[in-house]
Structure 1
Amino acid sequence: MSTSAADPLAALGALPGVPDAVESVRKAVDRVYGHRVMRRRSSEITSEAALRGARASAALAGADWALEEVRRRTDFSGDAEARTVGAALRLGAEAGQLLSIWRQSPLRVLARLHLVAAGDPGEAGEAGVSAVSAAAVGRPRQDGEAVDEPLIRAPLPGAAEVVGRLEGLADLLIAGSSAPALVTAAVVHGELLALRPFTTYSGLVARAAERIVLIGSGLDPKAICPAEVGHAELGREAYVAAFDGYLSGTPDGMAAWIAHCGRAVELGVRESTAVCEALQRGAA
């Protein structure tokens, strides 16, 4: 069996431009981990990264709230935007708790992430989750069920294809790969966006899964490099355009998506570096 057949993720890591993206990300992450503030106040950086990452992921899903509004709010059960922000915040808090399960059963983690994102349907009110969508929480969607994912307009795979591709992705992850963390994270993110496996919040779950890979791989063990911030900063149009490259399945398209995810991580690093600098100055 060839190396590419045995470890297809490793083959992606060798695509033109990808090694450079991987190296650039590694250098950026090493710099922020070496910041003097990290030695004393890393837990504060982790908490702030989770907050900013959640705000950014919600913005990509159409709920573009100011950071201070997200920080100030305590009730996220109102309109659809509030529920999206609340879902993103819950995912940000949950992701780091699921690392050991992810290594053994990624599908269980994805189900848990969707359950966490959906929250309690009974609290959503008249404009909230219907009984039909409540029954769909935590499981792959079925044919005929409506999918609410406002940013991604690509054709939806059928339910059988979703299940098959999810199982294939899980098998790849459990088997392990020599591919860099950035490559694995980008593939997990892109595949979940392509499948939109849940009736709601698939984009939020995809970005949370990317975060889990980056943390669990050891690239970002303290969860201080919020790629979601970078994805939002690069913009919705660039996100969709890069994702189209993933959907194409071509070497150039896949490399472009991986490089886009790398730039997002680097911008997340820049965000947390700014937080470190603010803490050092006593301004935050």
Structure 2
Amino acid sequence: MSSTLGIHMEEELRSQPDTWRTALKLDSSALPKKGERVCVVGCGTSWFMAQSYAALREQSGEGITDAFTPTEFSTEREYDTAIVITRSGTTSEIINFLKQNAGKLHTVALLGDVNTPVADLADDVIDLSFADEKSVVQTRFATTALMVLRSTIATEETCLKACDEATEALSASLDDRLIDAEQYSFLGRGWVQGLATEAALKMRESCQAWTESYNSMEYRHGPIAIAAPGRITWQLGSSPDGLEDQVNETGATYVEGSADPMVELVKVHMVALATARARGLDPDHPRNLSRSVILK
């Protein structure tokens, strides 16, 4: 195992409690108010953060909220505000979305680099450059963007508790069974399902792991067939009744997330990095990926 592989990813994932605390101090007045109809747009990791925020906002009674990739945006629905999440500010689909909807929607960009086309196209910008990253594989930018959005819904106490739990998680040792396992299934319910999907993506990107993600209640409707010794079923957030026993019967290792779901994702980041190193892979420069998708 080489500690020089993924050096940027390690620094960035370990800085998350600090970037979350910084996020909680930002001016979020440009973000939607209760009752507004909102769409949240992103690609890849940013889309999964959009899904989590959309579900959380609706579950909290804040108003209709939908998450889209920019190419699948529904022009037949009316929205008051569109939020775009983009680390690079150069992703082609996001730029095209903003151009196509200029003057039609109030647009707010959560942005990792403000010296980019997206900053010029959005009506309002929330500057997250303090959470920008050198590693291709995203960790802190995505979770910091979600913390900004979450802070408009959840209490300050809840958000600060998550920061403290993340600090504790990062100082704890990893269970060896979780590193370089044969297969990983990540589960979530409600707003946490987006985090489970993101957890699976992180493992694919960083260490080419065989990973899947499902709604927790749907896992028993077929996907549990893949559970077996040497494989991991990881529940982010609260577990449905009886699920742990059923997974244990398969011989798979069941992980029930006892921490805040965002903190569970931080733990996945740690496992992804450790697995990448165990496999001799560099998550700072993963196969076939670049920092931004710019289409010709």
Q: Provide the TM-score with structure 2 as the length reference.
A: 0.28
Larger % of helix: which?
1
Greater RCO structure (CA 8 Å; 6+ sep): 1
Q: Provide the TM-score with structure 1 as the length reference.
A: 0.29
Larger % of strand: which?
2
